[in-house]
Each structure stands twice: as structure tokens, then as C-alpha cells.
Amino acid sequence: MRGSLLVDNIGELVTNDGRGGDPLGVRRDAAVLVEDGQVAWVGPARYAPAADRRIDAGGAAVLPGFVDSHAHLVFAGDRAAEFAARMAGEPYTGGGIRTTVGATRAASDDDLRATVGRLRAEMLRQGTTTVEIKSGYGLSVADEARSLRIAAEFTEDTTFLGAHVVPAEYADRPDDYVGLVCGPMLAAAAPYARWIDVFCERGAFDVDHARAILACGQAVGLGVRVHANQLGPGPGVQLAVELGAASVDHCTHLSDADVDALTGSETVATLLPGAEFSTRSPYPDARRLLDAGATVALATDCNPGSSYTTSMPFCVALAVREMRMTPAEAVWAATAGGAAALRRTDVGRLIPGSRADLVVLDAPTHLHLAYRPGVPLIRQVLHNGVPR
Ligand code: NIG
Ligand code: FE
């Protein structure tokens, strides 16, 4: 949309500008000028420049749009019955991934595209303006490539997760499957992918296979992210740090050495409390990571098996209630933290030059996101400066 737009009468503006001692960079009685899809100016409302159009925030809180740095949106079918069984006491093993692989392979491109579009729209309504989308339910050369081709229609942050699990037809030959992933599958996927990811866990890929696959991805220019330490302790977190991964995700079971490795590294610990909610597992200890000085992000992990939510406000509320994060830490992790996990400096903050992605809450402060769980508090979303 052309012309300038002023969002003013903002009671509490979360900028994440990193200035002073306040990580959220909160400003009161503020205004934001948007031009050409970017933030052009931030300052006190009384000094706001003139603009072509105006949004009156009515004294409400305004935040950067949420950055959901971990989502598996390209799939078909659902696993509601598996969820019901878990709530009745069954454990989560990841074994259901193959069920979704079968449904995804059988779906048409248009069906997959419609599902991604529906979930992306759900996200936007709940304030998510940046999303990472993984493949990982195709697990054949053609199905991984088309998953990423479809994902790339919706986001720049596409992730090749051919190493999600070993598909049934390779069950007896995992080495051959790793060869397929590193060879023809990577070649077909890489043109559509920014990142490579591996599920490094007992029952998925061991540390040697994970290292080999991630190294192949790095060699063709993909950035590294890792699923690790979700179902139990393991070497995945330290592998991620060793390879300079942008993010290691789940981090539910961490040793002291894992926490030490993350602290002072460039690797963000991305916590996915929707997965613990939906698998009835113990939540990761965010407080331990934060107190040690690690960078923490929050994301939904939206997928039909372990976390079928698109809601970042829900994850913020869980992080505060169940993971001992303060509301300010959780909001930072869901915005600037997600941006760090995607190594992006254009989103997750509201400073001159950032993308004009912002959320007007139906609430006076960011505290209400955790204080009023389950309540639709997203009044308005601007994405690239355009009201949605
Ligand atoms: O991040 N952990 C591995 N992958 C997904 C779950 C996938 C599924 O159960 O379908 C996750 O939780
Ligand atoms: Fe995941």
C-alpha cells in the first residue's frame, strides 16, 4: 500500500530496540510511522509527523509481529485420535510421523497448498507475521521437493527436513536413506530451501547420521537448525553448537554441559511448549537457560502430531505459567528471539528500517498475553505495513 501510515495513541510500545536495561525497549504514549512497508520513525506521540492515514491504537499495547521460527505446515490429514490416546495415558514416540507421511504423499499439490494457506491465515490472525516452514512429511525425492516448493510460496524461511524419520521403505537400510537425503533429495530440495534440519533423537537419526546430513546441507549453502533433546537426553544440542546452528529446537532434556555449550554460542535454544502441552511431557526449563545467559526463542512447532496449534499467544502463556519465564522474557522470545533463531534483523523489532510487522493488542500491556490466556487479544495486524 502506498503512502504513509501513522499508528499513534499507543499506550505501551514494545520495540525490542535493545537500548538501556529494558530488553523489550518499552515506550509509553508512542507512535510509529510506516512508509513503504517499513518502520520510518518511532517516537513520542506528541512529536509524530503527519501521515496520509492513521490508525488510532486507543491507548492499547503494540508489539512487533510474532516470529514463529519452527512450524511443519506441509502435511495432510490429522492425528486427533493419537492425541486422544495420549491424553488417556499413551506416550508420544514420534511413531505417528509415518502416518502423516502416508497421507501427505497421497495428497494433491492443491490440497497441501490449501492446508498451508489455512494455517498461515490462522497464524496471521493471531499476530504471527513471520513463519518458518519445514518439509519432512514427504521423505521421497519428489515429495520433499514439492513440499518445499509449496512452502516457498508462503515464506522465505523454508527448511529441508528430509531427515525427519527413516521412512518405512528404508526401515532396514538407514544408511541408504541417509545417502538418498544427502544426494538426490538434497539436490531436489535445495533450490527451495534456506535451511536444513535433522531430528537427532533415539528412534530418528543418530549423531553421526545427523552430522553427515547437516554437513551436506552446509556444503550447498543451507543454514543449520536441529531438532534435539525432545524425548530424552542426547548429543543433538552439542552437535548443533559444534556446527554453528542458528537454532536447536525442543531442548526439553538438557545436561549441564548442554546448557554450557549453548551459553556463549551463536545457537538459539528454541522452546516449543505446545509440544509438551500436547504430549503431556515435562516442560523445558527456560529459567535455567535464561539464568545461564543462553538466548531463548519460543515457537509453535505447529504439526498434526505433537503440537497442533498456530497460536504464539498460547505459547507465551504456557512459557510464563509452566516454564518460569517472565511475561517480558516470553514476549521477547516470541518476537526478537524468533528473529535471532532465523538470523534475521529485519523482523522482531520495531525500529527505523525494520519491516512494518506489528500487532495492536486488545489490551493495555504485553502482560495480558499471559494474564488472559485463551482470549483473542489480537485487535489488528500490520504485515509489511499493510493492515490485515
Ligand atoms: O517437532 N520431533 C519431531 N518432529 C515433530 C513432530 C512431528 C509429528 O509427530 O508429526 C516435532 O515435534
Ligand atoms: Fe518440530
Whether residue 305 has its Cβ less than 6 Å from ligand 1: yes
Least distant ligand from the CA of 228: 1
Percent of the chain past pLDDT 70, that is, above it, reads 99
Q: What 3 state SS string does the chain have?
A: CCCCEEEEEEEEEECCCCCCCCCCCEEEEEEEEEECCEEEEEEEHHHCCCCCEEEECCCCEEEECEEECCECCCCCCCCHHHHHHHHCCCCCCCCCHHHHHHHHHHCCHHHHHHHHHHHHHHHHHCCEEEEEEECCCCCCHHHHHHHHHHHCCCCCEEEEEEECCCCHHHCCCHHHHHHHHHHHHHHHHHHHCCEEEEEECCCCECHHHHHHHHHHHHHCCCEEEEEECCCCCCCHHHHHHHCCCCEEEECCCCCHHHHHHHCCCCCEEEECHHHHHHHCCCCCCHHHHHHHCCCEEECCCEECCCECCCCHHHHHHHHHHHCCCCHHHHHHHHHHHHHHHCCCCCCCCCCCCCECCEEEECCCCCCHHHHCCCCCCEEEEEECCEEC
Q: Read off the CATH number of the domain in which 17 is found.
A: 2.30.40.10
Nearest atom in ligand 1 to the alpha carbon of residue 201 is: 2
- Cell numbers for 225, please give them: 537448525
Inform me whether the pLDDT recorded for 244 exceeds 60: yes
User: Are 206 and 320 in the same domain?
Assistant: yes
User: Are 212 and 358 in the same domain?
Assistant: no
Task: Please tell me the pTM assigned to this model.
Answer: 0.98
Q: Rounded CA gap, 369 and 144, in Å?
A: 36
**Residue of 164, 205, 279 to mutate, ligand 1, most atoms within 8 A of C-beta:** 164
274 labelled ligand-binding: no
Whether residue 249 has its Cβ less than 6 Å from ligand 1: no
Inform me whether the pLDDT recorded for 26 exceeds 70: yes
Span 105-120, pLDDT tens digits: 999 999 999 999 999 9
Neighbour tally for 118: CB within 10 Å: 12
Domain membership of residue 232 as a residue range? 66-342
- Band (pLDDT 50/70/90 cuts) for residue 1 is low
307 labelled ligand-binding: no
Whether residue 199 has its Cβ less than 6 Å from ligand 1: yes
368 labelled ligand-binding: no
305 labelled ligand-binding: yes
User: Are 137 and 273 in the same domain?
Assistant: yes
User: Are 235 and 250 in the same domain?
Assistant: yes
- Using CA positions, which residue lies closest to atom 8 of ligand 1? 305
User: Are 35 and 86 in the same domain?
Assistant: no
Least distant ligand from the CA of 98: 1
Least distant ligand from the CA of 165: 1
Least distant ligand from the CA of 78: 1
- Using CA positions, which residue lies closest to atom 9 of ligand 1? 305
Distance 39 CA to ligand 2 centre (A): 32
| Mean predicted lDDT score pLDDT of the chain | 97
**Residue of 75, 159, 227 to mutate, ligand 1, most atoms within 8 A of C-beta:** 227
70 labelled ligand-binding: yes
Distance 336 CA to ligand 2 centre (A): 20
User: Are 76 and 29 in the same domain?
Assistant: no
Nearest atom in ligand 1 to the alpha carbon of residue 250 is: 1
Distance 9 CA to ligand 1 centre (A): 42
Whether residue 301 has its Cβ less than 6 Å from ligand 1: yes
- pLDDT at 166 (0 to 100): 97
How large is the average pLDDT for residues 61-86? 98
How large is the average pLDDT for residues 263-286? 97
- Band (pLDDT 50/70/90 cuts) for residue 156 is very high
303 labelled ligand-binding: yes
- Band (pLDDT 50/70/90 cuts) for residue 220 is very high
User: Are 90 and 207 in the same domain?
Assistant: yes
User: Are 150 and 49 in the same domain?
Assistant: no
User: Are 259 and 363 in the same domain?
Assistant: no
User: Are 86 and 41 in the same domain?
Assistant: no
Inform me whether the pLDDT recorded for 180 exceeds 80: yes
Residue where one domain finishes, among candidates 342, 360, 376: 342
User: Are 165 and 269 in the same domain?
Assistant: yes
Say how many domains are in the chain: 2
Distance 13 CA to ligand 2 centre (A): 31
User: Which of 65, 64, 77 is closest to 17 using CA atoms?
Assistant: 64
Q: With the C-alpha atoms ordered 129, 338, 314, 272, is the resulting torsion angle positive or negative?
A: positive
Q: Rounded CA gap, 143 and 188, in Å?
A: 10
User: Are 164 and 195 in the same domain?
Assistant: yes
Q: Read off the CATH number of the domain in which 293 is found.
A: 3.20.20.140
